[in-house]
Structure 1
Amino acid sequence: MRICVPATSANLGPGFDTLGLAISLHNQVSIKPSKFHSVSLKGEGANNPVLKDNNMFIAIFNDFYQNLSNKKRHFRFEFANDIPLSRGLGSSSAVIVSAIASAYAIEGIEIDKDKLLNLALAYESHPDNITPAVMGGFNVATVQDNEVKYIRKNMPKTLKAVVVIPNRPISTQLARKALPFKYSKEDAVFNISHSSLLTAAFMSEDWDTLKLASQDKIHQKYRMKQMPELFDVQKTALKCGALMSTLSGSGSTLFTICLNEDAQRVEKELKNKFPHFKVLTRDFDNDGVTVEY
């Protein structure tokens, strides 16, 4: 059995803890019955022995599997990770979603995506990453009475995601501590209006509005100050014709949307100017988590 979950980019500028979309950059885990417990890890995190011994996926999987089956079995877990760790691309959400989905699938119990999403909420209180990880596409999400309420839309094939992944992380915990305790009414209204406009632009496919609508006064500048090069990355992407360029989650990745015909030029310029960062161009993922037998 194989579970596949996409990377996600959250916030998208002004949509703090609310907006997110899925990118065709995936973590996969294959699970097989075994005489004893074993773990193999390829790709991102493969050189970190702690991930094998203290694996969040296996802890969540075991909790759900034992509750569903009331028995103990041994499995071989084979992880193939393409989502960078601690870079603002939803690696933790991918682990949570895939672990829960795997426990149900290994028992042959069908689980609809709405239920899966709300089970994941117990491990990740903000819905901006877990929602696109489960559902795919572009998502507007909030939490009401311990349930995720969301509206989603497929992303078109005419757009590409260009992600600039720095060679060091920004701690999510430290990134939240960098934010002010209070905001002015003007800044709050600014973000409400821009987040609303950004949502409308995605839903109506008015791509020319993305650059204006993706502006933010709540979190980006405070977080990007921890890695000042990101301001230059953002400026370069927009100058090269990107439709929008925002901090992905709490960083350190910079997420950019381009028209297909502009993506190669934007990627090339970013690679030339920031050779110490990884630059990838990907399609968007409209499937979310998938299970294959």
Structure 2
Amino acid sequence: MFISVPATSANLGPGFDTLGVALDLRNEVSIKRSRFFSISIKGEGSKSFRLKGNNIFISIFNEHYRNLVDKKEKFRFTFYNKIPLSRGLGSSSAVIVSAIAAAYAMAGIPLSSQRLLSLALSYEPHPDNITPAVMGGFNAAVVENSRVYSIKKEMPQNLKAVIVIPNRPISTSHSRTKLPRKLSLSDAVFNISHSSLLTAAIFNEEWDLLRIASKDKLHQDIRMRAMPELFEVQKLALQNGALMSTLSGSGSTFFNMVYAEDAKPLAYKLQNRFSKFAIKILDFDNQGIIIEE
């Protein structure tokens, strides 16, 4: 059994806990029945003893598999990780959705995308990352009565993502405590209107509206203060072809959407200015999770 899940960029400016897009940077896992339990990690996290000793994928997989088949079995797990850990690119969501999907696949029980999303909510209550991880593409999603309702837009090939990955993380739990508990009416309207325009612009492919539509007054600036260089990243990106430049998830990665012809020049300027950060040019992913026998 082979399962592959894409990275995601969520929040997307004003789309806090609601908007997300899948990126063609994938975590893969191979699962085989075995006489002995074993786990091998290659790529991101390969040197982490914690991931081998307390692996969230294994815990979620075992929980669901035992509930489905009511027996214990041993497996050999091989992880090929490309999504950076704790950098706002959906590494946790990739683990959650792939572990649940793997349990159902190994048990031989069909699992719809909608059911997978509902099960994933138990571990990740915000749908902006898990939805594009499952569905691929750009997604607007909400949760109602423990169910994810979403609409997907496939991303065209003439767009690229230029992502800036700093050499240190921003704590999601800590940064969330810094967010305001109350909003003024004007700030609430600002985010609602910009999030609505951002969604409409992407669905209508009116890319020139994204620079305005991606502005935010709820979370970005507050989180970026933990790493002031990110303000410079955003400014440089918007000055050099980025259609939008937003914090990816809770950070520390920064997500930039560009026309394909502008990707390399922007990546060069970002790398030249931020030499200690990793810069990647990625395609958008429209497939979402892939499960192969």
TM-score relative to the length of structure 2: 0.99
Measure, in 2, the Cα distance between the counterparts of 1:158 and 1:108. Answer: 39
Quote the residue 1:69 is aligned against. Answer: 69
1:230 alignment partner AA: L
Per-residue deviation, 1:112? 1.1
Quote the residue 1:40 is aligned against. Answer: 40
Cα deviation code 1:228-268 (max 9, x no counterpart)? 00000011111111100000010000000000010011111
What SS does the aligned partner of 1:170 have? coil
Quote the residue 1:290 is aligned against. Answer: 290
Measure, in 1, the Cα distance between the counterparts of 2:197 and 2:13. Answer: 12
What SS does the aligned partner of 2:169 have? coil
Cα deviation code 1:183-225 (max 9, x no counterpart)? 2111111100000000000110000001110000000000000
2:226 alignment partner AA: Q
Cα deviation code 1:79-109 (max 9, x no counterpart)? 0100011100011000000000000111222
2:217 alignment partner AA: K
1:122 alignment partner AA: S
Quote the residue 2:258 is aligned against. Answer: 258
Measure, in 2, the Cα distance between the counterparts of 1:165 and 1:49. Answer: 23
Quote the residue 1:212 is aligned against. Answer: 212
What SS does the aligned partner of 1:20 have? strand
Measure, in 1, the Cα distance between the counterparts of 2:97 and 2:33. Answer: 21
What SS does the aligned partner of 1:25 have? strand
Per-residue deviation, 1:36? 0.8
Alignment map for 1:3-22 (pairs within 5 Å): 3-22=3-22
Measure, in 1, the Cα distance between the counterparts of 2:144 and 2:71. Answer: 34
What SS does the aligned partner of 1:73 have? coil
* Shift >3 Å, 4+ stretches: none
Per-residue deviation, 1:69? 1.0
1:125 alignment partner AA: P
The percent identity for this pair of structures is 63
Per-residue deviation, 1:178? 1.4
Per-residue deviation, 1:47? 1.1
TM-score relative to the length of structure 1: 0.99
Quote the residue 2:162 is aligned against. Answer: 162
What SS does the aligned partner of 2:237 have? helix
2:262 alignment partner AA: D
Quote the residue 1:113 is aligned against. Answer: 113
Per-residue deviation, 1:137? 0.4
2:167 alignment partner AA: N
Quote the residue 1:186 is aligned against. Answer: 186
Measure, in 2, the Cα distance between the counterparts of 1:211 and 1:238. Answer: 8
Alignment map for 1:227-238 (pairs within 5 Å): 227-238=227-238
Quote the residue 1:279 is aligned against. Answer: 279
What SS does the aligned partner of 2:105 have? helix
What SS does the aligned partner of 2:155 have? coil
What SS does the aligned partner of 1:187 have? helix
2:222 alignment partner AA: Y
Instruction: Tell me, yes or no, if structure 1 residue 56 matches structure 2 residue 56.
Output: yes
Gap runs ≥5 in structure 1: none
What SS does the aligned partner of 2:20 have? strand
Measure, in 2, the Cα distance between the counterparts of 1:90 and 1:156. Answer: 21
Measure, in 1, the Cα distance between the counterparts of 2:229 and 2:238. Answer: 15
| Count of residue pairs brought into register by the alignment | 293
1:32 alignment partner AA: K
Measure, in 2, the Cα distance between the counterparts of 1:30 and 1:262. Answer: 36
Per-residue deviation, 1:140? 0.3
Measure, in 1, the Cα distance between the counterparts of 2:104 and 2:35. Answer: 21
C-alpha RMSD of matched pairs (Å): 0.6
Measure, in 1, the Cα distance between the counterparts of 2:234 and 2:168. Answer: 17
Cα deviation code 1:124-170 (max 9, x no counterpart)? 00000000000000000000111001111101111001110000000
